Chains A and B, each alone.
Chain A
Amino acid sequence: MSDAALDRTPNVTGTKTLSINYGLFAFAIVALTILYICARLYQQAFGFSMGLDASSPEFGEYWMTLFRIELPVLYGAGALCWTYLFLTRDKNIEAITPEVELRSYFYLTMWLVVYSFCIFWTGSFFADGDGVWHQTTLRDTPFTPSHIILFYATIPIYLFFGVGSFVYAMTRIPAFCRGISLMHVFAVVGPFLILPNLGFNEWGHAYWLTEEIFSHPLHWGFVVLGWCALALAGVLMQIVGRFRELVPIVFKQEAASA
C-alpha cells in the first residue's frame, strides 16, 4: 500500500497509551441491551393481548402507534448521527498522525462490534421470535407484533451502526477515504438490502406461499443477504494490515528502549 503516514514524523513521545475512550462504546452496548429487552417486554405484554387482529382498534393503539413512532425516530436518529459524523469529519484526513489513525481504527472496530451486536438481536433473537409468532398465530397483514419490532425497529438500529461505521471510516481513516473497502460495502449493504427485500417477502406471502414454511425459497433472499456478514472478515484484514504499518511507528520509542 502506498502510504503517507510512514513518511511523517510520528508523535511517539512517551506513547504507551493510545488514550482510547471506551465510554461511548460501553454506553451503546448497555443502552442497546436495555432497548432490546424493553422491546421484547413490550411484545410480551401486548403481543397476544393487543396484537392478534391487525384491524382491531387496540392493535392500532398499541402497535401501529409504536410503528409510527419508531420509524421516524430510529431513521431520524441514524440520519442525525451520520450527518454529525460527516460534519465533524477531519478536513485534512491525510494529515492525521499515526497515533490518531491507530486510535481511529480501534473506534472503527468498536463501531463494528456494536453493529455485530445489533445483527445478533435482529438475525437471531427477534427473527426467532418472529418465527415462533408465525407458527402460533395466523398471518393477516405485514404488520404483526413481531414484524413491528423486527423489521421496523431492529433493522433501522443496525443500519444506524452499519452505515455509521461506514461514514466513520470514510471520514476518519485515510485508507477508507482514499478507496472504498469492498468488503465493508458488502457487510453494510447486504444487511441493508434486507429491508427492500421485505417487499418481495410480503408479496410472496400474499400470493405465493400462504402457509408458514421457514425454509421456503421465498425466504432465501434474507439468507443470501445475511451471508454478507462474512465480509467483515475482509474489513478485519484491512484493519490488521494497516496495524502492521502503524504499530511499529506509534510504539517506536517503546521498541527502541526495549
Chain B
Amino acid sequence: MTSITDIDAVAIPKRKAGPKGETVISVSGLTPGAARYSRMFDFLVVAAVVPLFAGAFHLHVMLTVGDWDMYVDWKDRQYWPLVTPISMIMFPAALQAIFWVNFRLPIGATVGATVLLITTWLGRYANWWIWTGFPFTEGVPSQVIAGALLMDMALIVLRNSLFTSIFAGFAFGFVFWPSNYSALAPFYLPVEHQGMVASLADMIGYTFPRSNMPEYLRIIERGTLRTFGSSVSWVSAAFAGFICIFMHQLWWQLGRFASQTTFLKNGDVVKSFMGMKSRPAS
C-alpha cells in the first residue's frame, strides 16, 4: 500500500504549512505538467458525464414519469407534481453523492437537472417538431433545476447527506409545483369548447391529435368530494416533498455504492489469457 506520505515525498515540494497561499493544486501535489494532464482529464470526465447522464437520466424520466413530463395536457394537480419530482430526484441525488463524497463538488444535482432539461428540449425539437410535427406547446417539459439548485445549496451549507435529505429533499419535491407553474400557468386558461369548459392544455392535446394516445389514457386528477378546492396542488407538493426526503437518501446511498472501487478477483486462467504472467500471489 502506498501511503500518502510516500507520494508527498516524491511529488510535493516542501512548503510552509498553513492555509495562506495554498491552492488545491499545490496541496494536491501535482506538478505543473501533471496538473495540465489532470485538467485534460477533467475535460474528458465532463465530456463523459454530460452525455452519459443526458442519456441515462432522460431514459429514466421517459419511462418513469413519461407522459406526465411529455404532454402539457397531463400536467394535472394530483399526479404530475407528485410523480415527477419523486422520479426526477433520483439521478440528481446519486450524482450529488458522487460529486460531493468523492470530490466535494456541490454541483451533482444541478448537473443532472441541467442536462435533463437541455436534452429534453433537444428531443422536442429534433423529434417532436421536425419528425412528427407536434407543436412545442404540446410538449412543454417540466424542469427540476430550481429544486436541484436548492439541494446543492443545502449540501454546501449543511455538509451532511441526512440533513440534505430532510430539508433539501423535501424542498426539491415541494418547489416542483410552484417553480413549474410559473412556466405553465398560461396553459390553464379556460376556454369554452363544444359547450364545455376546457383548459388550453386540454385543447392543445385535443387539437393536435396523438393517434395512439386516446384521451382516457391520461392519468390525471378526477377530483373527489374531499378535494381541498384549489389548494390540492399544494397538498400534492407537500406529499411529493415527503417522499423525496426518503428518495434522496436512498439514491444518495446508491451514488455512494456506485463510487466503490471494488475489484473482484480474476481467475488465473483469464489473467494469463489476457497477458498477465502468472506469479505467486502476494
Which of B24-32, B158-166, B233-241 lies at the interface? B24-32
Residues of A within 8 A of B37 (CB): 18, 106, 247
| Also in contact, A94 and B264, with CB within 8 A (given A137-B211, A178-B271, A248-B11) | no
Q: Mark A105-117, 1 if CB is under 8 A from B, else 0.
A: 0100110110111
When the two chains form their complex, are residues B31 and A179 in contact, meaning their CB atoms are under 8 A apart?
A: no
When the two chains form their complex, are residues A215 and B65 in contact, meaning their CB atoms are under 8 A apart?
A: yes
Residues of B within 8 A of A215 (CB): 63-68, 83
Chain B residue nearest to A235 (CB atoms) is B261
When the two chains form their complex, are residues A16 and B33 in contact, meaning their CB atoms are under 8 A apart?
A: yes
Answer whether residue A61 sits at the interface, using C-beta atoms and an 8 A cutoff.
no
When the two chains form their complex, are residues B98 and A233 in contact, meaning their CB atoms are under 8 A apart?
A: yes
CB distance from A74 to the nearest CB of B (A): 18
CB distance from A64 to the nearest CB of B (A): 20
Q: Mark B57-70, 1 if CB is under 8 A from A, else 0.
A: 01110111111101
When the two chains form their complex, are residues B63 and A119 in contact, meaning their CB atoms are under 8 A apart?
A: no
Q: Mark A233-250, 1 if CB is under 8 A from B, else 0.
A: 110111011011101111
Answer whether residue A78 sits at the interface, using C-beta atoms and an 8 A cutoff.
no
CB distance from A132 to the nearest CB of B (A): 5
Q: Mark A85-112, 1 if CB is under 8 A from B, else 0.
A: 0100111111100000000001001101
Bound: A91/B131 CA distance, A: 50
Residues of B within 8 A of A18 (CB): 37
Bound: A123/B40 CA distance, A: 26
Residues of A within 8 A of B123 (CB): 124-125, 128-129, 132
When the two chains form their complex, are residues A120 and B51 in contact, meaning their CB atoms are under 8 A apart?
A: yes
Q: Mark B27-50, 1 if CB is under 8 A from A, else 0.
A: 001111110011011001101111
Residues of B within 8 A of A143 (CB): none
Chain B residue nearest to A131 (CB atoms) is B62
The total of chain B residues at the interface (CB under 8 A) is 81
When the two chains form their complex, are residues B67 and A214 in contact, meaning their CB atoms are under 8 A apart?
A: yes
Residues of A within 8 A of B58 (CB): 123-124, 127-128
Answer whether residue A49 sits at the interface, using C-beta atoms and an 8 A cutoff.
no
When the two chains form their complex, are residues A132 and B51 in contact, meaning their CB atoms are under 8 A apart?
A: no
| Also in contact, A234 and B59, with CB within 8 A (given A177-B271, A248-B7) | no
CB distance from B251 to the nearest CB of A (A): 9
Q: Mark A212-239, 1 if CB is under 8 A from B, else 0.
A: 1111100110110011011111101110
Residues of B within 8 A of A119 (CB): 51-52, 55-56
Bound: A177/B255 CA distance, A: 25
Answer whether residue A202 sits at the interface, using C-beta atoms and an 8 A cutoff.
no
Chain A residue nearest to B2 (CB atoms) is A245
8 new A-B pairs (CB below 8 Å) besides A115-B48, A120-B51, A215-B67? A121-B55, A123-B59, A135-B212, A231-B258, A241-B261, A254-B33, A254-B34, A255-B13
23 A-B pairs (CB sep. < 8 Å) = A2-B282, A6-B2, A17-B33, A20-B40, A89-B274, A92-B275, A95-B277, A106-B40, A109-B41, A119-B52, A120-B52, A124-B54, A124-B122, A134-B212, A138-B212, A177-B271, A215-B64, A234-B260, A248-B10, A252-B10, A255-B11, A255-B12, A258-B31
**B: which residues have CB within 8 A of A?**
1-2, 7, 10-13, 29-34, 37-38, 40-41, 44-45, 47-56, 58-60, 62-68, 70, 83, 91, 94, 98, 102, 119-120, 122-123, 126-128, 130-132, 134, 210-214, 217, 219, 254-255, 258-266, 271, 274-277, 279, 282
**What 4 pairs across the A-B complex have the smallest Cβ distances?**
A214-B66, A179-B263, A123-B55, A128-B123
